[in-house]
Amino acid sequence: MNQEEAQQIEQLKEQVLVKTLAKDARERLSRVRSVDPQRAAQVELYLLGAFQSGKIGSQMSDQELKDILTALTDKKEFNVKRG
């Protein structure tokens, strides 16, 4: 894939995100991207797949995006052993 194709894909992705996320949700995703780009990419792929399959009918709110972020986050348990 050349640079032009990559740029076109990125533009299409942004268009879909603008259609599927409310302004506050897009801002939250942007903040997540600056802190954890891999997690943001995972969420973007999830949203693109949901959009393509017709699971997203209207713009998602910030709370809905938070729910997705929570669901996609690996929850790790830490056991503290005290001697």
The answer to the question of residue 14 being in a domain is no
Report if residue 19 sits inside a domain. Answer: no
Strands (E), 27-69: none
For the chain, the domain total comes to 1
Give a yes or no: residue 64 inside a domain.
no
Give the pTM.
0.77
In a domain, residue 36? The reply is: yes
Separation of alpha carbons 14 and 5, rounded Å: 14
Range of the domain at 36: 31-56
Q: Is 39 inside any structural domain?
A: yes
User: 56 and 22 in contact (C-beta within 8 Å)?
Assistant: no
pLDDT in tens, 22-38: 999 999 999 999 999 99
| CA separation for the pair 17, 19 (Å, rounded) | 5
Quick: pLDDT tens for 43-58: 999 898 888 898 887 8
Any bridge partners for residue 21, and if so which? 60
| Residue 15 within a domain | no
